[in-house]
């Protein structure tokens, strides 16, 4: 089960990219048809342990991300399961057309694990802090988009992606983030996790924002007594429509949280669903159509009001 007290101090922290790297090694032992492709960033994307254990199944294509995804398509056509890694800016941005036409259009069995997504990348600045990748990948027909919240769910998401037939985009982060789940907690493509239930509002989040949204809900309850439903919508596409509709049926306010531009990401996906099926007020928390900038992760999260504490005044005014 997920942790019960999100306000407890000293929560263990690990990066989602580390969960991905650990899962690859496990997958390598049980799936001899899995190959890992890299764009000269194996130390950062955490594919290096796989390369050391299975060197004959590891391929480095250098700083050439379009070639990386094109070669991944070739491996898939050969009957293998390629897992291609790079920074999210390059995997979803620079190589988008290759992903669309060479992988998604023929619906090939390719997994793209994109690390260092969002402003939490930090000091590399706006040029590398992609805040549009969920939008770019969500709009591709037939593609699957997964955004795990912590180390264990990232490992589970990697294994689920490999077991799934079809293209998958897995969004991973650079920083260490709180461990919310145990290694045994379920991860299902097309699913979500209801972390708590309440009647004051519904908070729906993905990725690093799950902890911040859940913590904000706990702070609101502590201050006002109002309890809020919190949902980890880790499967952004396909979205868990049934759970979201059920859990928001009796609420007048839904707030979405994402480390991404509020345009065309998780918030838009939720708003599209509710406007068509169950009209509800939706407030979207995220980057407000602006680029990131250079700075450490903590400072950037505070600057853009994406921490529980910096979001709290605004959220209190809503609920």
Contact yes or no for 91/118 (Cβ under 8 A)? no
The tokens for 18 are 């580390």
Coil, strand or helix at 267: helix
Q: Which among 65, 212, 258, 259 is annotated as catalytic?
A: 65
Report CA-CA distances (Å) from 304 to 134, 237, 244, 288, 319.
Answer: 18, 25, 26, 9, 21
Q: What is the DSSP letter of 92?
A: I
Active site residue 65: yes
Distance CA 250, CA 268 (A): 20
Q: Order of strands, edge to edge, in the sheet holding 34-38?
A: 58-60, 34-38, 81-87, 111-115, 168-171, 144-146, 235-237
Residues in CB range of 64: below 8 A, 6 or more apart: 39
Coil, strand or helix at 203: strand
Residues identified as active-site: 65
């Amino acid at each position: 089960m997920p942790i019960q007290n999100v306000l407890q101090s000293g929560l263990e922290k690990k990066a989602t990219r580390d969960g991905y790297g650990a899962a690859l090694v496990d997958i390598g032992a049980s799936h001899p048809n899995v190959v890992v492709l890299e764009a000269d960033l194996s130390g950062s994307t955490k594919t290096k342990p796989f390369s050391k254990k299975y060197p004959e199944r590891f391929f480095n294509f250098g700083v050439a991300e379009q070639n990386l995804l094109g070669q991944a398509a070739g491996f898939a056509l050969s009957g293998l399961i390629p897992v291609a890694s790079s920074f999210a800016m390059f995997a979803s941005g620079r190589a988008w057309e290759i992903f669309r036409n060479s992988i998604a259009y023929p619906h090939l069995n390719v997994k793209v694990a994109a690390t260092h997504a969002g402003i939490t990348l930090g000091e590399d600045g706006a040029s590398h802090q992609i805040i549009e990748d969920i939008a770019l990948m969500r709009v591709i027909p037939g593609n699957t988009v997964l955004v795990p919240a912590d180390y264990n769910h990232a490992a589970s998401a990697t294994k689920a992606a490999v077991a799934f037939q079809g293209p998958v985009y897995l969004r991973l982060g650079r920083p260490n983030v709180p461990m919310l789940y145990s290694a045994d907690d379920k991860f299902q493509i097309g699913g979500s996790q209801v972390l708590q239930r309440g009647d004051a509002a519904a908070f729906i989040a993905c990725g690093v924002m799950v902890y911040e949204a859940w913590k904000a809900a706990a702070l609101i309850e502590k201050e006002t007594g109002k309890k809020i439903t919190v949902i980890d919508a880790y499967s952004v596409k396909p979205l868990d429509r049934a759970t979201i509709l059920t859990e928001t049926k009796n609420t007048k306010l839904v707030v979405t949280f994402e480390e991404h531009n509020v345009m065309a990401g998780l918030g838009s996906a939720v708003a599209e669903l509710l406007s068509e099926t169950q009209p509800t007020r939706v407030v979207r928390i995220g980057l407000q159509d602006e680029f990131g900038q250079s700075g450490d992760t903590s400072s950037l999260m505070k600057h853009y009001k994406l921490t529980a504490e910096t979001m709290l005044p605004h959220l209190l005014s809503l609920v």
